[in-house]
Amino acid sequence: MEVMKMLHMEGGTGQTSYARNSLLQRIVHMKIQSIFEDSIKELYKATSPNCLVMVDLGCSSGHNSLIMVLEVIDIIDALCQSLNFSVPEFVVFLNDLPGNDFNTLFKLLPNYLKRLEEEKGSEFGPCLISGVPKSFYGRLFPSKSLHFIHSCYSLHYLSKIPNGLVSDNGEALNKGNIYIAKTSTVEVWKAYYIQFESDFTLFLKSRSKEIVPGGGMVLTFIGSINSHDPDNIFEFIGITLSNMTSEGLIEEAKLDNFNLPFYAPTAEEVMELIEAEGSFILNKLEKFTVDWDAGCSSFDLHERGKFVADTMRAVAEPMLASEFGEDTMDELFIRFKELVMRLIANKKKQYFNIVVSLTSKKDHKSE
C-alpha cells in the first residue's frame, strides 16, 4: 500500500463519507475543550501577534476543522475584548495528505466565512484560509511563522508501513492481523514502535522550527494503556477480515501481508519522546475514554452497531479497499457491524485517548 496515496478519509458527502460520519471526532474535540482554550489564551498572551497564524494538521474533509477555526477566533475575540486589545487578523492553514478531499472542505468555506461576518461584523479583521496538501512528517512552513498548531486524531497514523514485519526469508510476521493484536509477537510491536518513534520525533523537530517562541500546540491521539496489547478497534476489523478469509472471500496471502500504518502510543511513550526531542514544554497531558458509539442517539443495538461500523468505514475504507478491493467493502462492514453488536452488548467498548498541550521553548533556536 502506498501510504501517501491511500491514507485519507472517505471523501465526498455520500452515505459512507467522512463528512457524514465524523461525529465521534467532534465529540473527542469537545472533550479537550478546556485544554484547547487554555493553550490559545496562553499563546496569545505570550506572543500578542497582529496576525495570528494557525494550522490544523490532518484536517480531513468534514466540518470539524472549520468549526475548530471559528472556536479559535471566538476565544481570541473574547480575550481581546477583556484586555481591550485590537483583534488580530487570522491566517489559517488546513493541512492533509494530497489524497484528502480538499474540494469538499473548500465548498464549506463560504458558509463559515459568512457566519463569521454575521457574528463579528464586517469590520472584523480578515480570516484568510488556505490548503496545504503534504505530509506533516517534515517541514511545511517557514521558520517561526506559526502561533498555534492543532492536530486531532491524525498523529496515530504513520508515514509508512513499519520495517521489520517480514522475516529475512520473506515470511509475514503478523499473519492474520492488520495491526498489533493479541496474537502478535513482541517483534511486531517493536517494529511499530520504532516507526512511531521516528515519525513523532520528526514531527516535533519540524514543528519546532516553524512555531514562534511561546507558540502553542495541542495534539490528540488515539492511544493505548498497553501498547503491546492495545485492544484497538482495528484488531476487530482484522478478525472480520480473517473470518472472510476462512470462507474464501479474501485471499489469505493478502491478509497476511497487509499491515496498517497506525500506532496507538501509551501516555508514557508520548511523554518520553517529547522530553527526548527537547523543543517543547509539556504543559499538560490528559487521558480520557470515549465510547465506540459516542454520538449515537439510539439505544437500539443495531443502530449502535451501524454507527460504529459507519464511523470506521469512513476512516478506513480507502486503505482497506486498496488491498482487498472495493467489491468486498459492503460485506466487510456488514460483518463488522454484527461483530460490534456482539461486543458492545456484553461490555462497553471505548477508545483510549491522549491529549497534550505544548509550548515552544523561548530559548529554543530553530536550525
- Could you give the CA distance from residue 358 to residue 348 in angstroms, rounded to a whole number? 32
SS3 235: helix
Query: How confident is the prediction along the chain (367 residues), in pLDDT tens digits per residue?
Result: 565 555 655 555 566 666 566 767 788 888 888 999 999 999 998 888 899 999 999 887 777 778 888 888 889 988 988 888 888 989 999 998 888 888 888 888 888 888 888 887 766 778 888 999 999 999 999 999 999 999 988 899 999 989 988 877 878 888 888 888 888 888 888 999 999 999 999 999 999 999 999 999 999 998 988 766 657 888 888 889 988 888 888 888 888 888 889 999 999 999 999 999 999 999 999 999 988 888 777 788 888 888 899 888 888 888 888 888 888 898 999 999 989 999 888 888 888 999 999 999 876 554 4
CATH of the domain spanning 3-360: 3.40.50.150
What single-letter DSSP state applies at residue 157?
B
Strand partners, 21: none
Q: What is the DSSP string of 286-332?
A: EEEEEETTTT-----HHHHHHHHHHHHHHHHHHHHHHHH-GGGHHHH
User: From CA 39, how far away is CA 115, in angstroms rounded?
Assistant: 25
Reported pTM: 0.90
Residue 210, C-beta contacts closer than 8 angstroms, at least 6 positions apart: 139, 140, 141, 142, 143, 144, 145, 146, 149, 366
Q: In this structure, which amino acid lies at residue 46?
A: A
